[in-house]
Structure 1
Amino acid sequence: MNTNSSSQSQPLWWQPALGRDGRVTGAASVAQCVRTILSTPKGADPLRPEFGSDAWRYLDWPVPRAVPNVIRESVDALRRWEPRCLNVRVQPVIAGEHVTLRVNWRLQSGGEGYTEVKWR
């Protein structure tokens, strides 16, 4: 079962993507959490200073040198902060100086999907 997130290429909003009942569930919830984890620098959440990823540290690096580090930081952060996912795989989509991370994941409860996060 492939459950792709419906908001892969949409801009990141500060508001959670809520359904009619005010909750996000299943694959949509995982996709939202993946985007939140990867777009939050460590230290930005005062109540959870270790939350997020350190991928931002490589923004000024040349793309060929930055990408392996960004992938490592992304996988580490997702393994720590999104326990519903197994077999997290991060692939870079490089277009010149712009990099989008395609995160493929499989849920512990079954099903799989992916989320795209613009890194740079």
Structure 2
Amino acid sequence: MLNLTDISSLHWQPALQPRDGKPGANVADIVENLDDIHQALRIILGTPKGSDPLRPEFGSDLFRYLDYPVDRARPHVVREAVAAISHPLYGEPRIQLLRVLFSIEADGGAHLCAQWKLADGVIRETELRL
């Protein structure tokens, strides 16, 4: 079992997905640092707006546009992702969002890529399959 004293990072949260892909009975996985930011962005983008009754503006409306034609969906999806990540109360304040890319994969799945950076200036990406 993980003790709080074992966590060395200021920014951490419980991991939504176990690291090895298999949930363990007594294993408490956490994500720290950059992994914490990647997970936070996936939570923000993957949560339908209005589904958290205590934070009705948390999340995004990305799922509204999944059945739209790609050329019509792209501006809406990008706008929703930028608005959700940059929200003044419920967004991700630790990053500066640079751009959001939206594409459709060969198998028909939607793919979203958010490019962002921290104060260190290194550009990073978080990907989300819709």
Aligned to 1:6: none
**Residue 16 of structure 1: CA displacement?**
2.4
1:29 maps to which of 6, 30, 36: 36
How far apart, CA to CA, are the structure 1 residues paired with 2:119 and 2:103?
26
Question: Within 5 Å, which residues of 2 pair with 1:57-76?
Answer: 57-76=64-83
Residue 115 of structure 2 is aligned to residue 115 of structure 1? no
How far apart, CA to CA, are the structure 1 residues paired with 2:98 and 2:44?
13
Superposed CA offset, 1:38-81 (max 9, x none): 11010111111110011111122111100111011001110111
Q: Which has the higher contact order (CA 8 A, sep 6+)?
A: 1
Question: Within 5 Å, which residues of 2 pair with 1:1-120?
Answer: 16-17=16-17, 23-80=30-87, 81-96=91-106, 97-108=108-119, 110-119=121-130
TM-score of the superposed pair, with normalisation by structure 1? 0.75
Where does structure 1 lack aligned partners over 5 or more consecutive residues?
Answer: 1-14
Q: Is this contact kept in 2: 1:103–1:116, CA < 8 A? A: yes
Where does structure 2 lack aligned partners over 5 or more consecutive residues?
Answer: 1-14, 20-26
Please state whether the residue corresponding to 1:47 is helix, strand or coil. coil
How far apart, CA to CA, are the structure 1 residues paired with 2:18 and 2:67?
34
Moved more, 96-105 or 70-79: 96-105
Superposed CA offset, 1:88-118 (max 9, x none): 3111232253220011110135543211101
Aligned identity (percent) is 43
TM-score of the superposed pair, with normalisation by structure 2? 0.70
How far apart, CA to CA, are the structure 2 residues paired with 1:34 and 1:89?
14
CA RMSD of aligned residues (A): 2.3
Which entry has the higher C-alpha Rg, 1 or 2? 2
